[in-house]
Chains A and B, each alone.
Chain A
């Protein structure tokens, strides 16, 4: 790689697949005939695969490749695959291809490498057959895994009933072959595996041997609780080792020691090692190639105030290469890195885009239905089970079907073209494709209709794969009959389909960002740097939000310095309009076209905008416990930070300080972890130790949740003699004012010693409470204004935890920062850029397309009962006064096409286009074929 930001030149070496990608349809016939069996990499080498194979069933592109185990490649023998491939896609003479690409920016997202437990003998991995890694186990659980979703032991192919997980394998260890940091994801993935194991086998006994349980992510605490409450599940906090294998049963014995019960041994059918996350393989070479620096743990070295930035301009990083990260946060940084590329390259955005032109649409509404049916073999997926030719023959007997044919792969480019061509040639006005689930390929087939000049809603898909061949592999005849039934139903529906128009909505290019904290400011700047106007609305008279109370981070950043710089950038940016002291009076409109009225120090402003970002932050819980508010010596961790920054004499000269964690959360009222407090307390403790090394600092905690690299600071604190004492939620510390032995006034803190079980009494001069982060007081109001929803904990609810973590279910509205869930500054910045990235995908377009499948009201039939209005969660239906009374009217832009209103409407006045009563009832009526009904009638007579 050479060049600089905006102008890189990258040379790529593409390894040969020995398959012509443009010809391969992924039918897997070659795989069937290939004589070479070798361990399947994708399935962790538990089962075997062939030398030619598709990497995994959802691979994109879904084409086969040949690897080094091929007989021809090794010994110039075999070539069977060449003979069986119907498409001549095999090319054993392929050579590596050299490519050169010119790019303006680069995103590095090489991911991670699971920790290899083979590095440490004591895990017995590879030695004991029934010791597996969590990656192995993940594959065992999966229906596309080595045993088709059956969890089986390697030793005897039997189901394990007693399974143990050992946590922190390769993580939180300062030993050769281990990683000092916490891998951040293993606690929760192990819980997931327990839940899935219980789903497979309700009687399974699952034991998790763990250290701290770090369920610090959104909804993770509830997930932990759910796992813990399952029958037969034990969480055991312990030191664990694997000691022996039973030579006959191959069961594995685990030795573990707990504080309460000492050392015990127990035998398990299977032991799962919860392996941690390592930097990606070959990271050093990659760093050299791209000229970027690595951090101390060999993940990417990032800028703390912009964690997507590498040490080299124009090269960005996303995902776990930033450090151990869960999926939602990987998606934040992925979208955020995208936004940063946009900032760099926005001046030439769209230069490479070309508009797609479709032929004009033929009006066929007056014609009798002329249906074409295309039945897909899906390679062997359908064809092996269903007698495809007989279904084609059958389809031709159905009313209105004028054409039918089979296809090897309907989705292949040539097949799609065939559909287009036949539609034109045979004058088809409706097309049924009998293949897979419409979830993935319906858009493709709709497109083939558009190419043929037919309205795309004249397309109907019959799912004869997931609903049929895949589940009836052993019942070929019945499956063929069922395929015919499904095709008959689809044809019946196709007769009633109507042409629908999708409409283009104009997009206002301005964004509104609600909340002027770190999240809101970074998001606003990233959008503005991509040449869009931004209105930044802040309720306070000053920008900065919660960060105004922060002074330093664990990594040593001067927060106030950073904040001053950030505010300056915001105020100086010509495209960012700041409204401070603001209240939102009203927000109306929809994606691309919102109008928000804001009252601020500038007066009343009406802002028209295409997108809105909610970044209103969070509040801090005001403790009602531990004498807070009654005794000045008790403060929150934020107040402690203020005092430290101020150099408060009384504090700095204190003899002892007690910090109490989990105040106001992880309880019945707030069933979540505030995520930041453990790091916050460690940070304050380290700072105080720096100022006054003689101060006695105690941290009373439930689980120390210093996930990721923050673990190093936890260890540093312990090394500096900060004392950590674990307490149980049902035996909380007690605080009362008292006197020390010397007669000094102190706060007496009593806590149970977790090792000895007796009461410890600590004399504290100060107490700092790790008070929970709670949803901002304005959350509910803002949710109502922008018609967005909240999670059970009262924070804003994203559209999808993993797939759409920075946007709302309501189109055109996005979220970031603590409004979503408590998070540290770097994480907030990741998400802020992430939201900006999503906003840009909307604002960079001139129009958005609204689906044609929305509801309409037949005014004549509407009785104005309002049943539809009350069930529409999108507020898409309103009443309008007519001479015949109130009538429902649908705003098609807001309608999402769920159709709840249809099922409630007494008169059938409201109907969801493309899913009308007529269409759906025709399918129901076609379940039983006409001849069957006639036969029954005959029999009855």
Chain B
């Protein structure tokens, strides 16, 4: 596995577990022994995560990535010693920043839940290759992260338009759509990963899935109201 395998969710999990600092070591940039250069991907993920930490109120210095080769033991020791020193200075996670522990945990849980969404919307940037270290800080900006979270989208099925055709439910990769034949479909917002597959899958002639940005999702129709009453059925059963 390559350093590019390190998932944003892993870093968040470590912090959620109360770890005070996360260090990621990768091969030297441009010296990939393969053709992947995945260390650039790891770098992008770290740049993103550091901005998210800043947004959350955590000190981004708690996450560090360094690139070195297997023969650079002394450099590794130096960098890790420095990092440990830094993290000790920062103090325990959250406490050092003056964030309430519960508050922090719920924030981290919320962001962790949005990891799939973040991957969808930041896909291109996460796979980019920035050669110039001067541009590292500009890959993701704090404004961008604020917008990312304030304008986070939600998907909602309009009960008036849903034809209970099951197409979206079958496509949903998170199995988040509560569905049955002749039952108006409902998105389980807890399970939904906001990937938009249902939005794309719903036949345009129905247009039942709506994309909401930064606004609350209307409450789902209650289970008793979900049965679809089709006109054709009304006619055949007067």
Query: Do A and B share a complex?
Result: yes
Q: A327: CB under 8 A from chain B? A: no
Q: Within the assembled complex, what's the spacing in Å between the Cα atoms of A884 and B170? A: 7
What does the 1/0 interface line of A180-211 toward B look like (CB < 8 Å)? 00000000000000000001100000000000
Q: B5, B17, B41, B201: which has the most chain A beta carbons within 10 Å?
A: B5
- Say whether A860 contacts B173, CB under 8 Å: yes
Q: Residues of B contacting A897 with CB < 8 Å?
A: 1
Q: A7: CB under 8 A from chain B? A: no
The B-contacting residues of A in range 748-796, CB under 8 angstroms, are: 788-789
- Say whether B74 contacts A863, CB under 8 Å: no
Q: Residues of A contacting B17 with CB < 8 Å?
A: 924-925, 927-928, 933
Q: A799: CB under 8 A from chain B? A: yes
What does the 1/0 interface line of A424-451 toward B look like (CB < 8 Å)? 0000000000000001000000000000
Please choose the segment from B113-121, B152-160, B182-190, B224-232 that sits at the chain A interface, where 4 or more of its residues have CB less than 8 A away: B113-121
- Say whether B33 contacts A900, CB under 8 Å: no
- Say whether B13 contacts A905, CB under 8 Å: no
Q: A909: CB under 8 A from chain B? A: yes
Q: B52: CB under 8 A from chain A? A: no
- Number of B residues with CB within 8 Å of any CB on chain A: 46
Q: B7: CB under 8 A from chain A? A: yes
Q: A817: CB under 8 A from chain B? A: no
- Say whether A903 contacts B35, CB under 8 Å: no
- Say whether B4 contacts A906, CB under 8 Å: no
Q: Within the assembled complex, what's the spacing in Å between the Cα atoms of A199 and B73? A: 12
What does the 1/0 interface line of A879-900 toward B look like (CB < 8 Å)? 0000011000000000011111
Q: A810: CB under 8 A from chain B? A: yes
- Say whether A799 contacts B38, CB under 8 Å: no
- Say whether A899 contacts B13, CB under 8 Å: no
- Known A-B contacts A199-B75, A921-B13; A906 and B1 likewise in contact (beta carbons under 8 Å): no
Q: Residues of B contacting A867 with CB < 8 Å?
A: 119, 123, 127
- Say whether B33 contacts A800, CB under 8 Å: yes
Q: Residues of B contacting A789 with CB < 8 Å?
A: 35
Q: A862, A904, A909: which has the most chain B beta carbons within 10 Å?
A: A904
- Say whether A902 contacts B7, CB under 8 Å: yes
- Known A-B contacts A906-B116, A912-B5; A900 and B18 likewise in contact (beta carbons under 8 Å): no
What does the 1/0 interface line of B98-140 toward A look like (CB < 8 Å)? 0001000000000000011101100100110000000000000
CB distance from B100 to the nearest CB of A (A): 12
CB distance from B157 to the nearest CB of A (A): 17
- Say whether A900 contacts B4, CB under 8 Å: yes
Q: B171: CB under 8 A from chain A? A: yes
- Say whether B127 contacts A906, CB under 8 Å: no
Q: Within the assembled complex, what's the spacing in Å between the Cα atoms of A797 and B35? A: 9
CB distance from B168 to the nearest CB of A (A): 11
Q: B212: CB under 8 A from chain A? A: no
CB distance from A725 to the nearest CB of B (A): 37
Q: B19: CB under 8 A from chain A? A: yes
Q: Within the assembled complex, what's the spacing in Å between the Cα atoms of A797 and B37? A: 14
Q: B9, B33, B36: which has the most chain A beta carbons within 10 Å?
A: B36
Q: Residues of A contacting B75 with CB < 8 Å?
A: 199
Within 8 Å by CB of A924, from B4, B10, B35, B101, lies B10
B75, closest chain A residue (CB): A199
Give the interface residue-count category, chain A. Answer: 35 or more
User: Taking chain B's interface residues, is the majority helix, strand, or loop, or is none over half, making it mixed?
Assistant: helix
- Say whether A898 contacts B7, CB under 8 Å: no
- Say whether B13 contacts A871, CB under 8 Å: no
Q: Within the assembled complex, what's the spacing in Å between the Cα atoms of A200 and B74? A: 9
- Say whether A906 contacts B120, CB under 8 Å: yes
Q: Within the assembled complex, what's the spacing in Å between the Cα atoms of A320 and B195? A: 60
- Say whether A149 contacts B4, CB under 8 Å: no
Q: A873, A904, A906, A936: which has the most chain B beta carbons within 10 Å?
A: A906
A787, closest chain B residue (CB): B35
Q: B180: CB under 8 A from chain A? A: no
- Say whether A925 contacts B195, CB under 8 Å: no
What does the 1/0 interface line of A921-941 toward B look like (CB < 8 Å)? 100110110000100100010
Q: A143: CB under 8 A from chain B? A: yes
CB distance from B197 to the nearest CB of A (A): 5
Within 8 Å by CB of B73, from A143, A797, A810, A873, lies A143
- Known A-B contacts A867-B123, A924-B14; A903 and B195 likewise in contact (beta carbons under 8 Å): no
Q: A667: CB under 8 A from chain B? A: no
The A-contacting residues of B in range 175-213, CB under 8 angstroms, are: 175, 193, 195, 197, 201
Q: Within the assembled complex, what's the spacing in Å between the Cα atoms of A900 and B126? A: 11
What does the 1/0 interface line of B29-43 toward A look like (CB < 8 Å)? 000011111100100
Q: A471, A900, A907: which has the most chain B beta carbons within 10 Å?
A: A900
CB distance from B1 to the nearest CB of A (A): 4
CB distance from B132 to the nearest CB of A (A): 16
Q: B221: CB under 8 A from chain A? A: no
Q: B74, B101, B201: which has the most chain A beta carbons within 10 Å?
A: B74
What does the 1/0 interface line of A848-891 toward B look like (CB < 8 Å)? 00000000000011111101001101100000000011000000
B7, closest chain A residue (CB): A903
- Say whether A898 contacts B5, CB under 8 Å: yes
- Say whether B173 contacts A903, CB under 8 Å: no
Q: Residues of B contacting A870 with CB < 8 Å?
A: 127
- Known A-B contacts A885-B171, A906-B193; A898 and B38 likewise in contact (beta carbons under 8 Å): yes
What does the 1/0 interface line of B72-94 toward A look like (CB < 8 Å)? 11110100000000000000000
Q: B142: CB under 8 A from chain A? A: no
- Say whether B13 contacts A925, CB under 8 Å: yes
Q: Within the assembled complex, what's the spacing in Å between the Cα atoms of A200 and B173? A: 52
- Known A-B contacts A870-B127, A902-B7; A865 and B36 likewise in contact (beta carbons under 8 Å): no
Q: Within the assembled complex, what's the spacing in Å between the Cα atoms of A729 and B221? A: 78
Q: Residues of A contacting B197 with CB < 8 Å?
A: 863-864
- Say whether B7 contacts A863, CB under 8 Å: no
Q: B5, B13, B173: which has the most chain A beta carbons within 10 Å?
A: B173
Q: B8: CB under 8 A from chain A? A: yes
- Say whether B119 contacts A871, CB under 8 Å: no
Q: B148: CB under 8 A from chain A? A: no
Q: A915: CB under 8 A from chain B? A: yes
Q: Residues of B contacting A73 with CB < 8 Å?
A: none
CB distance from B193 to the nearest CB of A (A): 6
CB distance from B153 to the nearest CB of A (A): 13
- Say whether B120 contacts A903, CB under 8 Å: no
- Known A-B contacts A899-B1, A902-B5, A920-B10; A865 and B127 likewise in contact (beta carbons under 8 Å): no
- Known A-B contacts A865-B123, A920-B10; A903 and B18 likewise in contact (beta carbons under 8 Å): no
Q: Residues of A contacting B1 with CB < 8 Å?
A: 897-899, 912, 915
Q: Residues of B contacting A265 with CB < 8 Å?
A: none
Q: Within the assembled complex, what's the spacing in Å between the Cα atoms of A867 and B119? A: 9
What does the 1/0 interface line of A221-246 toward B look like (CB < 8 Å)? 00000000000000000000000000
- Say whether A863 contacts B173, CB under 8 Å: yes
Q: Residues of A contacting B171 with CB < 8 Å?
A: 863, 884-885
Q: Residues of A contacting B173 with CB < 8 Å?
A: 860-863, 907, 909
- Say whether A896 contacts B10, CB under 8 Å: no
Q: B45: CB under 8 A from chain A? A: yes
- Say whether B73 contacts A921, CB under 8 Å: no
- Say whether A903 contacts B33, CB under 8 Å: no
Q: Residues of A contacting B127 with CB < 8 Å?
A: 867, 870-871, 904
Within 8 Å by CB of A936, from B6, B18, B36, lies B18
Q: Within the assembled complex, what's the spacing in Å between the Cα atoms of A867 and B174? A: 17
B22, closest chain A residue (CB): A924
What does the 1/0 interface line of A255-276 toward B look like (CB < 8 Å)? 0000000000000000000000
Could you pull out 14 A-B pairs where Cβ atoms are within 8 angstroms? Answer: A471-B77, A865-B123, A867-B119, A873-B34, A873-B35, A898-B38, A899-B38, A903-B6, A903-B7, A917-B7, A921-B9, A921-B13, A924-B17, A933-B18
20 other A-B residue contacts (CB within 8 Å) besides A200-B74, A867-B127, A927-B19:
A143-B74, A149-B74, A863-B197, A864-B197, A865-B120, A865-B123, A870-B127, A871-B41, A896-B36, A898-B5, A899-B5, A900-B41, A904-B123, A906-B119, A907-B116, A907-B173, A907-B174, A921-B10, A921-B13, A940-B101
Give the top 9 A-B pairs by smallest Cβ distance, nearest first. A899-B5, A898-B2, A906-B116, A906-B119, A907-B173, A900-B4, A809-B35, A861-B173, A915-B1
